[in-house]
Amino acid sequence: MKLFNLFIKYRLAIGIIALLGAIAVNISSGFWPSLALYIIALVCIFTHYFIGPLRLIQEYLEEGDIEGAEKILNGIQFPGLLYTPIRSVYYTLKGNIAMTKQDFDSAEKFMKKSLSLGMPMKEAEGANKLQLGMMAMQKGNMKEGESLIRQAIRVGIPDKESSALAYLQMCQIMMQKREFRSAKDFFKKAKAQKATTPQVVDQIKQIEKYISRMPG
């Protein structure tokens, strides 16, 4: 695994060296002796720009090293050359990092780019739409926020904590719209996720204090 990661890290350099070596052998000994080096150069350079180094980011994210992950992303000079599903993941990661920096405008821009390319997994699409919906709510765009959160729930959200957050947000929207029966239904679904994140647990406790007194 580590050897493969090292290859990915230095793949472009290996490709350039192989290409220079192929040219030198081609000049001195002819095309056929240099063919293997040309193939190595082609594979390394092509995969560097078409697939990219996103595999390297996983290790940084698992360690919570956001700066390291961002450095890898910033090293991708031509994201437009990435294979479309990988480009979608690239913009999702850019959006997630922007979120951690509280840069919501950039996060929204990257998330929308990712969605426009199509998500490789439905769960990722759901998480993406949930984040966009939450950002829309923060900006006071209730209609867009509700639409995006509903889409996220419909598509599917990958983890229980995020699912609980989505249902709680829908519960609050329904309460504001005085659709109390729907609010209660969403609250039950939120509790059923059995979330453990302090923020979500606290929201559930706060809403639980008065939701039973609502009509419907």
Task: Map out the domains of the chain as residue ranges.
Answer: 1-50
pLDDT greater than 80 at residue 119: no
- pLDDT of 1 higher than 70: no
The residue to which tokens 């966009």 are assigned:
132
pLDDT in the model for residue 40: 97
Closest CA to 59 of 97, 95, 5: 5
pLDDT band at 132 (very low <50, low <70, confident <90, very high): very high
Q: What is the mean pLDDT of residues 33-53?
A: 96
Residues contacting 166, CB < 8 A, separation 6+: 130, 133, 149, 152, 153, 157
Give pLDDT tens digits for 84-109.
Answer: 999 999 999 999 899 888 898 999 99
- Please state the rounded mean pLDDT for residues 150-175: 92
The pair of three-digit structure tokens given for residue 64, joined into one six-digit string:
């919570």
Measuring CA to CA, which residue among 81, 76, 5, 7 is closest to residue 40?
7
Give percent above pLDDT 70 in the chain.
97
Percentage above 90 pLDDT, the chain? 69
Do residues 187 and 167 lie in contact, with contact meaning Cβ atoms separated by under 8 Å? yes
